[in-house]
Structure 1
């Protein structure tokens, strides 16, 4: 009653409208301020690992998943999973502005670019337009294991531990400052696939911590690498290294085979191979055996339907339990079908063989 007496009815209505307008403006300003405080992030990667990371990011305050770059053949899967977020093929990473609303300056939109399980190199032409920087997961200790497929090299080099590393994308490949890392033991039965999967799991734990820090406004560490210790493993080096050298020790040959074991998947790099009297022989499963009676490295000293036993460059032999000859697979219970015989010799020197490399 008091307010009605103070203001005419028309003025009262105008006054109420003004109050409502102020409330709406305050709400809009609050939303805009919230968006300004959020870190705008683009994600780039492939498969389930990047999906797990994005799922976690969507639960955090202070983070806005701005754009997701994935492999072309995965776009449909990610569209169903993240229908409210812009999705682009990872091949378009150099044209990152495609994920920015029309009329906006894309250079001010992205604070971070997170690369996880991503095989595409991100160049300086992209990074210079990310406000704070790019962050990458690398499977391997840095700087000692820079480059490609280092989890396979770690097995072959008889390492006893492996490291997942999160680092800034700067300078040469895998040479940027380290944010954090996690070291864990390599088991004696570790395969290329199992070590990769464990490395991804460890990296996800690290990246959850990194994303939480980003969301709360934390300044991330920048620990410089000692590049004098840098060792770079190239794609070509791993792809061209599948030939079995029988003058090596049984342990060395077994690690070569185990590092290429991605069963039930195919190796992404090489298949261990040799040359036998009956054709090109690729080894899938093997173990170190006991002392060998053979004379020559690469000589078949025993065979039954379960295995082929081959002399190596040391006292111990190699027991092969799964192999392919001329693209036909033989496993335990089928070995005698290979037509191999005791006394056959496998080539220790590299012959001209087609189809032993997987990657280019």
Structure 2
């Protein structure tokens, strides 16, 4: 069976390697992202003697004619970023399938592994489904779940999900090749499901009035290769790269974000309900975390912003500006 392969990044590389190793599968071409083509995927395709493309518009008639001339039996998307219209979807006789890192019909959309960690899920999903005009709405061919351990973070989960996605894709390809594939409409699993939005700049900031579980989940969800959860320390941005829940930590009222304990493993910080041990922080410089370290901070140090102090500070600045304006008008 000839595969048209639309891919990017480590997910695309791992799955392509698995496809290479299957003697009954042949790669007809590889389509890379236009804005930043994956050089490793391009090199791997070159070693296989497989042509690569990186079109600005995958739905342009000229590129679709060129791809169709390569006679793929089935097209596969693995982390490809362009929206496909009907002519592209229907190019190959066996259709177009996609591997998605979410347990469809839940976690459709973007950044789904981050959202799964933020939501405190105990399992993540990987789904191979038909591509159609909707986003992640096509019928399901194969769906598998994997565990999320309490100490998992984005990096560990990303690595495991990439392996599972390659396994699940190969299972789906084998079913299609053998004519044994079955398809399940997503509505049969849940009538609605839900979408995950793309995470944007600003989403990484910690609100220390949140419960401990929510703060801990955000820190692990944004761990490298994510951007890292952010807070303020003495007015400067810092990144929290590691934290631990404290067993049997009591709930009590105090100032959220305050360092209330310290030890060899880091500092204990008050949250909206209990406390959290922060084990690794880094400075934020040049758009990335730098100088990673175990925090050694005095008890009473405060993470985050004191809103009352900020309001007073800004009010003072406004008063000074108003007085300057009045002086200029005199």
1:275 is matched with 232
2:88 is matched with 126
Alpha-carbon distance in structure 2 between the residues aligned to 1:127 and 1:230: 23
Q: How much does 1:233 deviate?
A: 0.8
After superposition, give the CA deviation of every residue in 1:150-175 in whole Å (9 maximum; x if it has no partner): 11111111111111111001131111
Q: Counterpart of 1:214 in 2: which secondary structure?
A: helix
Of the structure 1 ranges 86-95 and 248-257, higher mean CA displacement relative to structure 2 is found in: 86-95
2:169 is matched with 207
1:319 is matched with 277
Given the superposition, is the C-alpha separation of residues 81 and 93 from structure 1 closer, same or farther in structure 2, using an over 3 Å criterion?
Answer: farther
Q: How much does 1:65 deviate?
A: 1.8
Alignment counterpart, residue 182 of structure 2, candidates 191, 198, 221:
221
Alpha-carbon distance in structure 2 between the residues aligned to 1:117 and 1:197: 14
- 1:301 matches 2:260: yes
After superposition, give the CA deviation of every residue in 1:225-253 in whole Å (9 maximum; x if it has no partner): 126322111114x6542111111221221
Question: Is the Cα contact below 8 Å between 1:292 and 1:301 reproduced in 2?
Answer: no
Q: How much does 1:346 deviate?
A: 2.6
Alpha-carbon distance in structure 1 between the residues aligned to 2:46 and 2:117: 38
Given the superposition, is the C-alpha separation of residues 156 and 48 from structure 1 closer, same or farther in structure 2, using an over 3 Å criterion?
Answer: closer
Alpha-carbon distance in structure 2 between the residues aligned to 1:144 and 1:278: 39
Alpha-carbon distance in structure 1 between the residues aligned to 2:254 and 2:17: 58
Work out which of the two has the higher radius of gyration on C-alpha atoms and give 1 or 2: 1
1:182 is matched with 144
1:117 is matched with 79
Alignment counterpart, residue 154 of structure 2, candidates 184, 189, 192:
192
Q: Counterpart of 1:282 in 2: which secondary structure?
A: strand
Question: Is the Cα contact below 8 Å between 2:14 and 2:162 reproduced in 1?
Answer: no
How many residue pairs were aligned?
Answer: 296
Q: Counterpart of 2:186 in 1: which secondary structure?
A: coil
2:52 is matched with 87
Question: Is the Cα contact below 8 Å between 1:86 and 1:99 reproduced in 2?
Answer: no
Given the superposition, is the C-alpha separation of residues 61 and 80 from structure 1 closer, same or farther in structure 2, using an over 3 Å criterion?
Answer: closer
Given the superposition, is the C-alpha separation of residues 279 and 62 from structure 1 closer, same or farther in structure 2, using an over 3 Å criterion?
Answer: closer
Q: TM-score, normalised by structure 2?
A: 0.78
Alpha-carbon distance in structure 1 between the residues aligned to 2:80 and 2:281: 32
2:299 is matched with 342
Given the superposition, is the C-alpha separation of residues 59 and 95 from structure 1 closer, same or farther in structure 2, using an over 3 Å criterion?
Answer: farther
Alpha-carbon distance in structure 2 between the residues aligned to 1:231 and 1:187: 23
Alignment counterpart, residue 43 of structure 2, candidates 74, 77, 80:
77
After superposition, give the CA deviation of every residue in 1:301-359 in whole Å (9 maximum; x if it has no partner): 13467522211111x31111211235352412xx34xxx532233336899xxxxxxxx
After superposition, give the CA deviation of every residue in 1:63-117 in whole Å (9 maximum; x if it has no partner): 43211113424165224432x211122656335865877xxx9379233110123
Q: TM-score, normalised by structure 1?
A: 0.72
Aligned-residue Cα RMSD (Å) equals: 3.0
Q: How much does 1:191 deviate?
A: 0.8
Q: Counterpart of 1:254 in 2: which secondary structure?
A: helix
Q: Counterpart of 1:275 in 2: which secondary structure?
A: strand
Q: Which 5+ residue runs of structure 1 have no aligned equivalent?
A: 1-38, 352-360
Question: Is the Cα contact below 8 Å between 1:61 and 1:215 reproduced in 2?
Answer: no
Question: Is the Cα contact below 8 Å between 1:112 and 1:131 reproduced in 2?
Answer: yes
Question: Is the Cα contact below 8 Å between 1:300 and 1:311 reproduced in 2?
Answer: yes
Alpha-carbon distance in structure 1 between the residues aligned to 2:24 and 2:261: 65
1:244 is matched with 206
- 1:68 matches 2:30: yes
